[in-house]
Amino acid sequence: MNGIENVYLACRKEAAEHNDKLKSREMAAEMLGVSTSTLANYELGVTKNVPPDSVVMMSDLYGKPELKNYYCKHECPIGKDFPLAVQESGLQGITVKILNSLDDEDIREMKKNLLSIAADGEISADEQEEFSKIVKTLETLESAISELRILAEKYQKR
């Protein structure tokens, strides 16, 4: 999914490499149960808020689970603040990210620090920096896990 071409159009074009019916916007629209003009509006960026159910249908039809993450990360007003992956970097890259985040010593240290911060039920000014570091580490892990979910969904569809 490149930044120049609309993500919905790019995903349909990629899917069309494996499914000739998706080469035609008209056929794709029919398969999605939307009008051709509605799909054109999604693909040309005319529709600024593509309905989530349409995104799910496109994701399923095109075999592109990352399309749902893209929507949540870039278009959903709630999801924009969450560390979701919008594409997967392959099993090797994901594995390295996860295992780097799960280093035994780092996890023990983070656990100890988080317990210390949480002991009084408040985050004091002197604990703020360490707390932010812990959250950042967990967000990195969360993003890698969302990549793994994308990959798992792709393989489950095969």
SS (HEC) of 108-126: HHHHHHHHHHHCCCCCCCC
**How many helices, marked H, and strands, marked E, lie in the chain?**
8, 0
pLDDT band at 84 (very low <50, low <70, confident <90, very high): low
Q: Residue 88: which pLDDT band, with cuts at 50, 70 and 90?
A: low
Confidence of residue 4 (pLDDT cuts 50, 70, 90): low
Q: Single out the residue in 30, 63, 81 at which a domain terminates.
A: 81
Q: Final residue of a domain: which of 35, 53, 81?
A: 81
Quote the number of domains for the chain: 2
Residue 75: give its domain's CATH number: 1.10.260
Mean pLDDT across the stretch 29-54? 95
Is there a domain that residue 2 lies in? no
* 99 and 120, same domain (yes or no): yes
Averaged confidence pLDDT in the chain? 88
Residue 59 in contact with residue 65, Cβ under 8 Å?
yes
Burial class (CB in 10 A: 0-12, 13-18, 19+), 58: buried
The model's pTM is: 0.61
Task: Locate the DSSP E strands across 15-150.
Answer: none
- Token pair 């932010």 is found at 132
Q: Are residues 95 and 113 in the same domain?
A: yes
How many other C-beta atoms lie within 10 A of the C-beta of residue 146? 21
Is 32 among the domain residues? yes
DSSP one-letter code for 70: H
pLDDT above 90 (res 15)? yes
95 and 66 belong to one structural domain:
no
Domain that holds residue 71: 7-81
- Strand, helix or coil for residue 44: coil
Instruction: Report if residue 86 sits inside a domain.
Output: no
pLDDT above 60: residue 36:
yes
